[in-house]
Amino acid sequence: MKTSALYARVSTSGQEKEQTINSQIAEIVSKAKGDGSAIEQGLQYVDDGWSGELLARPALDNLRDAVKNKSFDTLYLYDLGRLSRNFLNQLILKKELTEAGIKIVSLHDINGENPESLLAQNVMGLFHDYERIKIAERFRRGKLYKAKSGILFGWQAPYGYEYIKGKEKGMGNFKIVPHEVEILKMIFQWIGIEGLTIRQVIKRLYEQKIYPRKSKNKYWSTSTLSRRLRDETYIGVTHYNKSKSIVPENPTKNEKYKKIKKSSRHNNPKDQWFAIEVEPIIEKELFTAVQKQLILNDSFAMRNKKNNYLLSGLAYCSCGRKRAGEGNSKTHNLYYRCTDRVLRYPLPKECHNKGVNATVLDDRVWSTIVKLLSNKNLIKKHFGIWKEKQKQPTSNTDFLKTELDKQLDAFETQEKRYLEAYGEGAISLSQYKEQVQAIQNKKTTILTKLQRVSTDFSTPSAPVILPDLDEYCDKMKIILTNRDFEKKLPIVRKVIQKVTTDGTIATIQGYIPLQIPVENTQENVKFKSEYRYRRSPQRRKINPIQRPP
């Protein structure tokens, strides 16, 4: 008695959910039963959610092993594309089966029972391969056209948004998720305003029991936060074709079976990106501040340091170059040396300023910070100067009007693109109406803001409420007393803008902060001002002791 087997496969998760694999199996079993053959459960080889591009599939490998062992005589398929979508791979598999004396029965193909039908079957397989490539290219071009027209489609919405499908297929928009937006704004403020690092943000989120949208572990990862903090979607612009799928050169997991062949991503050049406007969540000024702080945090990261330099990234030479920390292998002393000789190599150096002993300069700068921030009279004097400056009339009306006009022009351009897309038949009338209505709503909002700009800036601002400066100085004394290196570091970064030295005299430029985050001090000093101000950079000179280079 002859034995039969079946092979079934679907590629996408959507097909898995729709259980199309079960419909394949049911149709094959029915056909085999009509031919007077029953297929045992052990001879049903099923790859659920595996791409036909891949030759390494668990059930297919088991089938090929069974072919070598001659475990069956007839193989039933829904169609030959189930074996492989690649024509050459399909020929290899068919050859293995026929050489083992196994008959192939395809429910939806010409079965090669003679040379003529075999030729027709191969031609059909080649045509299917060509059609697959053609369909993929058609989809790619269709998506590019939609992206060029500013149409949002099939997006994986980032945190803070939810993708809402439109009434027509292939259309949609981002809807803001209010509670996620509040969390995002806090995260951006913690870094852009308070100057926290990503790791400090992760700790704070965990302590406040704020968890990411999708995570088995109840904490945010550094990679996730890093991507979110750099995502321009939050300032109103998302991009299509930003990256492409590629086969990883050095895969992190050496798995035998991979459902996705191209599991890695590679960024495309920026001129190949297509911008699509969405509703912004974060102000551009805050987003820019966060990008600057991330760069600053990276330069200050302890993983980049072999030794402890309090002024790392802040020390400059009087020639204009930065000073970098460098150790002396003989004396084991640490110095801040001008980078001129490194940057000009192999040319002769232009700067001949000597190195400054890092330990001495760090101590002198820290003692100066403590002295300045503990001086009540000095603090009050500079706050008085700052307060007088706030009374001087300033207006950003022209700048805001220009920005709003630019946004209005962008929406009008987008509206014209939708009209062109409708005229060329790329979108239906209902799609056109839906997108244009959304643009009209945004334009109405911009026009309302334009009408309010002049009124808002012509009215006097609310009086500035300064904290109690005596209390401020008392708290500063507590915060600045007996600090070790790890506790000094965030305070120095908060206060110092740069320290410039010619090797003999050092000039400090910095700010008077009204708040230093409690996380950075690791003390239970709960002092926080109602407003956060910074005085413009002030200079103080100190004379570090010069040591031999």
Q: Write down the pLDDT at residue 183.
A: 93
Residue 173 carries which side chain, given as an amino acid letter?
Answer: N
Q: Write down the pLDDT at residue 460.
A: 47
* Among candidate residues 276, 278, 290, 472, the one with its CA nearest the CA of residue 380: 472
Q: Write down the pLDDT at residue 531.
A: 32
Angle, helix 469-480 to helix 358-373, in steps of 10 degrees = 150
Q: Write down the pLDDT at residue 54.
A: 81
Distance CA 260, CA 53 (A): 9
Distance CA 312, CA 318 (A): 16
Residue 11 a catalytic site member: yes
Q: Write down the pLDDT at residue 76.
A: 93
CATH code of the domain made up of 4-142: 3.40.50.1390
φ/ψ (deg, to 5) at 387: -65, -40
Q: 246: which strand partners?
A: 264
Distance CA 67, CA 267 (A): 43
* Among candidate residues 6, 1, 63, 70, the one with its CA nearest the CA of residue 36: 1
| Domain range summary for the chain, segments of one domain joined by + | 4-142, 398-456
Q: Write down the pLDDT at residue 454.
A: 54
Distance CA 540, CA 78 (A): 82
- Quote the tokens at residue 517: 């985050």
Q: Write down the pLDDT at residue 85.
A: 81
For the stretch 18-39, what's the b/e string if a residue is b when 16 or more beta carbons lie within 10 angstroms of its beta carbon? eebbeebbebbbebbeeeebeb
How many degrees, rounded to 5, is the angle at CA 227 between CA 224 and CA 232? Answer: 145
- Straight-line distance from the first to the last Cα atom of the chain, in angstroms, rounded to the nearest whole number: 94
| Residue of 11, 37, 51, 312 marked active site | 11
- Tell me which residue has tokens 């307060």: 387
- Quote the tokens at residue 25: 């199996």
Distance CA 218, CA 34 (A): 54
Q: Which three-class secondary structure string do you get for 27-55?
A: HHHHHHHHCCCCCCHHHEEEEECCCCCCC
Distance CA 185, CA 519 (A): 19
- Quote the tokens at residue 418: 């939708």
CB 207 within 8 A of CB 220: no
CB atoms within 10 A of CB 223: 9
Distance CA 69, CA 63 (A): 10
- Quote the tokens at residue 467: 């904290």
CB 80 within 8 A of CB 43: no
φ/ψ (deg, to 5) at 333: -85, 155
Residue 84 carries which side chain, given as an amino acid letter?
Answer: S
CB 122 within 8 A of CB 88: no
H or E, element range at 74: strand 74-77
Alpha-carbon separation of residue 409 from 274, 414, 415, 450 (angstroms): 18, 9, 10, 13
Distance CA 191, CA 379 (A): 26
Judge residue 89's burial from the number of C-beta atoms within 10 Å of its C-beta, 0-12 exposed, 13-18 middle, 19 or more buried.
Answer: middle
Q: Write down the pLDDT at residue 484.
A: 79
**CA dihedral sign of residues 490, 492, 496, 502:** negative
DSSP state letters, 517-542: -HHHHTS------SS--BPPPEEEEE
pTM over 0.75: no
Distance CA 169, CA 83 (A): 31
Q: Give average pLDDT by consecutive 10-residue segment, the chain, 549 residues.
A: 86 55 90 89 90 85 92 91 86 90 88 77 78 80 79 80 78 86 93 87 89 78 88 89 78 69 79 86 91 81 67 89 80 85 79 91 88 81 75 59 78 78 74 77 75 54 57 75 78 86 89 54 34 42 46
Q: Write down the pLDDT at residue 63.
A: 93
- Quote the tokens at residue 427: 């979108």
Q: 74: which strand partners?
A: 4, 103
Q: Write down the pLDDT at residue 440.
A: 79
φ/ψ (deg, to 5) at 419: -65, -40
